[in-house]
Structure formats: C-alpha cells, structure tokens
C-alpha cells in the first residue's frame, strides 16, 4: 500500500464547478490511471490507451499499428481467438478498439461490478498475445476489406489521404492510419509481434476508468491486475521524423467519376496543445468556431451562404490534440453554378476581410457562452469525457492540462484569436485541394 501511496500523483483539491470528479495516480510499473466518477447509472467503461499509433510505425510497415489492434482480439494463452469479445458480451457488455496517429485504445463498457474481469483480460493481453498464422492472414483480408470500404470506395476519403500525404513533407502524419494498400498486403505476424513487444507495456499506457466506481476500488483492482506486469525498460523514445520548414504551398487536384458533390478544402499546419502552454491552441479552437461554427452565425457561413449564395456548406475545424504539429482546416462546398476556383477565391476574400476587420464582439461572446455550457452538457456523456482524458494523456498532455483546458478556453481574448489567425494562415504551410468530378472526353 505504501508504494502505491508514494506513486500517487498530486490530487488537485479544487475541482471546477460542474465537472465529474477526476482522480489520477501512477502504478510503480509506470501505468498511469485516471478515474472519472459518474454514479448516475451502474455502468463503467474501461479504456486502455497505448501511447503508440500509426505515426510510431517503422518506415515501410504502414498500417501495422491498426493491424495489431485487430489482432489483439485473436487471443492469448489463456483466452482463445474471439473469446475476448465473447467474454465481454457474456457479461452484457460491449467492447471495441480504435487506432489513431498517436494512440491505440481498447475499451469495454459493462455493468460496474464486472470491472475486475475486464481488467484481468485487458492486462492479460498486454503481454500474452498469441497469434496463429492463419488467423493473421484472414484478418489481413478483413483489413484490406476495411480499407476498400472506408477509403477506396469513397473518393472523399481518397482525396483526404492524398491531401494529408502532401501536407507532411517528412513527418509520418502524412501516412494513412490504415496504411497504404501495398504495404498492408505485405504485413505478417512477425511485423505485428515486433511492434507489440516494442510498444505494449504498462509504462507506455494510460488506463481510464469512468462511471460508477470509486478511486480506491479502481486502484486496488489496477494494482492486482496490471501491477504485476513489469515495465519495459527499452521503451523507444517517441521521436518522429520532424517537418522541415514548409516553404511552398501545395495543391492537390483530385478527380474521380464517383464524385457527387465537388468541394474545396484547405489545411494549414498548426500547433497542437502542448503541456503547460495551451493558450495558442485554445485561441485556434475559438478561431475555428468563429469562422465555421454554425452557418448562420459564423464568418464563412454568413459571407458565403447568407450574404451571397456562393456555397451550400462551409466549414472550419482544428484538431487540438496531437503529439506533433496538427492541422487547421477550411472548406467550401460551392452552390450549383459556382466553380471550385470561384469558391476558393471567395473563401480567400472572406479570410482577408476577417484578418482586416478582426473579431466580432457579439459573435465572440456567444461562442464563449457555448463553450461554457458545453462543460455542463459534457457531464451527460461520461464516456466522451473519458475519451478526452485518454486522448490527451496519450498525446503528451497531463491530467492537469486537461483539467485546466476549459479555463484556458474561457481566458482566450479576441486579440489572441487574431494573433493566432495571422500566424496560422500562411499559405506556404498549406495544402489546397479540389475534389472534382472527373470529366470524360
């Protein structure tokens, strides 16, 4: 017990008003644990996040992080192929997993009194994965079908993949999470096991438990099930190939006969939230809301959908959580009769006008009110709060950063938004893409 107590992270005494109680501690083997309490329903979700994703793959092995995620359901010495999900389902629960550029996460949602069994099984497959060659090859087909369904059958997804590849000159964020088809087709069991042994360890993981649980109970269970697994002393440092200075705008012109609705999309390289310094990212969140929040009130929507009928849809977004530089995006779906060139020019004219005019005060105040209310509404969906903490902690942020985040958002000023806008809207660090209907001669 004393060892655990020594490893407890500092618990912040003051919780923000309305938030679920969040407790965190670290086991001696390096496993970070976050407990989010919500006692409204007798349900719990266990999420185990590994700090490894597609951006941590070796060159030429794209898709291996995601492939391994699938193979984690193929069994250990103790539990046979497919039996993991069957055991969760036998408890009335659901389980699944997902892979991103920076993390791979596994989760189960069950009645709160089944948490111990879920932890036992999840801890078991952290180190005891066993793979049969035939299972691996069949699962590779499943993943090729997944790629066909989600990417190759969807021209918008192919366009995104090409645009993303053009965006990053050197950093692995340019490689699709699911992998390039020819590289997936060449992956085998040894690739998966090598990646598994290198990255799956308690000192490279974050356990988030959310729902009808108390921290002491979670701590005792985590110590029992995850505690005995030794840390991996040879965990590779998380250093990716860095981007060189981006000096030239790129353009991606993608045509496909299956395109029903053409559109313009531009992404700019943008800084992500960094531990301790989240102000710039917070300003970019507000900027994205101002430019592309709701159509009737946002800068792009008003100008292009209301003042003029240039567009049927406009959007702006920003991915704030990432280990390395992320993206700020803008998009315009032109109205019938408007070309992509005209839509792009109109979008740039709106941006230029916004940079000249600055932030509309009333719009700014409405966004702040919505961001504050979002905290109240978020309490209704504990699983999404669990995801927020898991993604943040797996991407280099801390519990303190995540706790502070809503406050940082509230402290954003109109000046900070304009400063962030002037910095981020640099065409030399941007990719402009047109998704076009293929014209056959």
Partner 1 sequence: MNRFLALVAAATIWSLPVQAEIPITEVKSPGGITAWLVESHDIPFVALELRFRGGGSLDTPEKAGAVNLMAGLLEEGAGDLDARGFAEARDALAADFRFSAGTDAVAVSARFLTESRADAVTLLRSALTEPRFDADAVERVRGQVLSSLRSAEKDPGTLASRAFDALAFGAHPYALPLDGTLETVPALTRDDIAAAHRGALARDRVHVAAVGDIGPEELGRLLDDLLSGLPETGAPLPGPATVDLTRGITVQEFLGPQSVIIFGHEGIPRHDPDFIPAYVANEILGGGRFSARLMREVRDRRGLTYGVGSYLYTLASADLAMGQLSTANATAGAAIEVVRAEWDRIAEEGVTAEELEATKTYLTGSYPLRFDGNAPIARILVGLQLLGYPIDYPAARNAMVEAVTLEDVNRAARRLFRPDNLRFVVVGAPEGLPQD
Instruction: Give me the active site residues, please.
Output: 69
Quote the least distance from Cβ 48 to partner 1, whole Å: 18
Residue number with CB closer to partner 1 (94 or 277): 94
Question: How far apart are CB 141 and partner 1 at their closest, in Å?
Answer: 3
Residue 439 burial by Cβ neighbours in a 10 Å radius (0-12, 13-18, 19+): exposed
Provide the minimum distance between the beta carbon of 343 and partner 1 in the complex, in angstroms, as a whole number: 12
Three state DSSP letters for the chain: CHHHHHHCCCCCCCCCCCCCCEEEEECCCCCEEEEEECCCCCEEEEEEEECCCHHHCCCCCCCHHHHHHHHCCCCECCCCCCHHHHHHHHCCCEEEEEECCCCEEEEEEEEHHHHHHHHHHHHHHHHCECCCHHHHHHHHHHHHHHHHHHHHCCHHHHHHHHHHHHHCCCCHHHCCCCCCHHHHCCCCHHHHHHHHHHHCCHHHEEEEEEECCCHHHHHHHHHHHCCCCCCCCCCCCCCCCCCCCCCCCEEEEEEECCCCCCEEEEEEEECCCECCECHHHHHHHHHHHHHHCCCCCCHHHHHHHHHCCCEEEEEEEECCCCCCCEEEEEEEEECCCCCHHHHHHHHHHHHHHHHHHCCCHHHHHHHHHHHHHHHHHHCCCHHHHHHHHHHHHHCCCCHHHHHHHHHHHHCCCHHHHHHHHHHHCCHHHEEEEEEEECCCC
**Residue 142 beta carbon to partner 1: minimum distance, rounded to whole angstroms:** 5
Q: Terminal CA-to-CA distance of the chain, rounded, Å? A: 76
If the CB atoms of residues 139 and 401 are measured against partner 1, the closer one turns out to be 139
Report, in Å, the least distance between residue 312 CB and partner 1. Answer: 4
* Closer Cβ to partner 1, 42 or 60, answer by number: 42
Pick 198 or 335: Cβ nearer partner 1: 335
Q: Return the structure tokens found at 263.
A: 């559109």
Q: Give the nearer residue to partner 1 in terms of CB position, either 41 or 355.
A: 41
Q: How far is the CB of 138 from partner 1 (least distance, A)?
A: 4
Give 43 or 399: the residue with its C-beta nearer to partner 1. 43
- Least distance (Å) from partner 1 to the CB of residue 241? 30
Q: Which is nearer to partner 1, 150 or 428 (CB)?
A: 150
């Amino acid at each position: 017990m004393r060892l655990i107590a020594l490893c407890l992270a500092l618990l912040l005494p003051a919780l923000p008003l309305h938030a679920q109680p969040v407790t965190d501690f670290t086991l001696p083997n390096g496993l970070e644990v976050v407990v989010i309490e919500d006692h409204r329903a007798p349900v719990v979700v266990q999420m185990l996040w590994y700090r490894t994703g597609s951006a941590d793959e070796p060159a030429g092995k794209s898709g291996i992080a995601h492939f391994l995620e699938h193979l984690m359901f193929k069994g250990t010495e103790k539990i046979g192929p497919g039996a993991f999900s069957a055991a969760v389902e036998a408890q009335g629960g659901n389980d699944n997993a997902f892979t991103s550029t920076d993390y791979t996460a596994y989760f189960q949602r069950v009645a709160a009194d089944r948490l111990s069994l879920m932890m036992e099984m999840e801890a078991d497959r952290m180190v005891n994965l066993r793979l049969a060659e035939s299972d691996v090859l069949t699962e590779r087909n499943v993943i090729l079908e997944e790629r066909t369904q989600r990417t190759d059958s969807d021209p918008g997804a192919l366009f995104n993949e090409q645009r993303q590849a053009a965006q990053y000159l050197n950093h692995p964020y340019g490689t699709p999470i699911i992998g390039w088809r020819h590289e997936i087709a060449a992956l085998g069991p040894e690739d998966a096991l090598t990646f598994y042994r290198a990255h799956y360890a308690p000192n490279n993981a974050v356990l988030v438990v959310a729902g009808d649980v108390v921290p002491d109970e979670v701590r005792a269970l985590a110590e029992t099930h995850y505690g005995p697994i030794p840390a991996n002393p040879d965990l590779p440092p998380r250093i990716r190939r860095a981007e060189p200075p981006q000096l030239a705008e790129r353009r991606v012109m993608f045509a496909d006969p299956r395109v029903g609705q053409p559109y313009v999309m531009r992404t700019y390289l943008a800084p992500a939230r960094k531990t301790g310094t989240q102000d710039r990212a917070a300003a970019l969140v507000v900027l994205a809301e101002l430019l592309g929040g709701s159509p009737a009130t946002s800068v792009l929507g008003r100008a292009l959908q209301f003042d003029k009928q240039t567009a049927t849809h406009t959007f702006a977004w920003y991915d704030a959580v990432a280990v390395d530089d992320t993206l700020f995006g803008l998009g315009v779906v032109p109205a019938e009769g408007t070309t992509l060139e005209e839509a792009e020019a109109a979008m740039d004219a709106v941006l230029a006008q916004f940079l000249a005019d600055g932030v509309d005060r009333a719009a700014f105040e409405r966004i702040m009110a919505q961001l504050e209310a979002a905290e109240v509404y978020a309490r209704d969906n504990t699983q999404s709060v669990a995801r927020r903490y898991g993604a943040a902690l797996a991407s280099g942020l801390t519990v303190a950063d995540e706790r502070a985040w809503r406050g940082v958002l509230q402290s954003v000023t109109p000046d900070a938004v304009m400063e962030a806008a002037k910095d981020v809207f640099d065409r030399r660090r941007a990719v402009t893409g047109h998704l076009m209907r293929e014209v056959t001669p």
